[in-house]
Amino acid sequence: MAENTKIYLQPTPVRIWHWLNAFGIVTLTVSGAQIRFPEYISLLGSYKSAIYLHNTAGFVVAISFTLWFFYYVFIARSMANLYVPKVEDLKTGLLRQAKFYFLTYFLGWENPHHPTPRNKFNPMQKSAYLAIMFVLMPLVSLTGIFMTNVEPLRGVIVMMGGMKILMSVHFLLACCLIAFLPTHVYLTTLGHTPMEHIKTMWTGWEENGNDVPDHKENGTVPSH
């Protein structure tokens, strides 16, 4: 890297959302495990406290999800731009990024994608985050809301196939979110230093920021 420029990559609302969310998901995972396997897991004391904690964490995650959503859609107005892959991303970008992760990274080449506030994610991140934030998170939250209001919503639950379907969907989607976690945390350590991206998510500032002007950005930057 030629210069040690800094860019402001992660605005405050996004950081608040992110860490509330991360903490919430970890809490949900642990308490959820105890709720499903009470005879093996009793980390959180009584079953009842696991349930109350799970419900509270679910509430916090749902609220912070709303914060994230409103911030990107109405304040930053960059949701579609950041999260929805462009045609080009799908045609060439995905392949190029996959080639980097699974081949050229090991050879020591530079990441073909350089994050800027307007184009934060590489094509693989876009697709993954899109699936997580627009499919998994809303569905898990929704099924969770149904399960905490079974009596009042009984009719709708029956329409969806009954408690068992609801439970199975909630459980399997939650497993997908849990599976995302190690992959996600691991990938964030692929910066120039392992803690680089994680620091960014904490402070907002990306060190070793992109030294190429914004207009040339779009994934066409050659690696050196």
Contact footprint for another protein (CB under 8 A): 35-39, 46-48, 51-52, 55, 101-102, 105-108, 148, 150-152, 154-156, 158-159, 161-165, 167-168, 171-172, 175-176, 178-183, 185-187, 190
Partner whose binding site includes residue 129, from another protein, ligand HEM, none (CB under 5 to 8 Å by kind) = ligand HEM
| E strand or H helix that includes residue 146 | helix 137-147
Query: How many chain residues interact with ligand HEM (CB under 6 A)?
Result: 19
Residue 79 as a binder of ligand HEM (CB under 6 A): the answer is: no
Nearer to ligand HEM, 145 or 181 (CB): 181
Tell me the residue type at 194: P
Task: Scan for tokens 């009842």, then name that residue.
Answer: 48
| Local structure of 127: helix, strand or coil | helix
Residue 129 as a binder of ligand HEM (CB under 6 A): the answer is: yes
> Which CA distances in Å does 72 have to 14, 76, 77, 118, 214?
9, 5, 5, 12, 20
Give the shortest CB-155-to-ligand HEM separation in angstroms. 31
Helices 137-147 and 47-70, axial angle in degrees (round to 10): 140
Nearest to 94 by CA among 122, 66, 61: 122
Is there a contact between 57 and 44 (Cβ–Cβ < 8 Å)?
no
Residue 120 as a binder of ligand HEM (CB under 6 A): the answer is: yes
Nearer to ligand HEM, 25 or 157 (CB): 25
- Residues forming contacts to ligand HEM in the complex (CB under 6 A) are 10, 14, 18, 21-22, 25, 120, 125, 129, 132-133, 177, 181, 184-185, 188, 197-198, 201
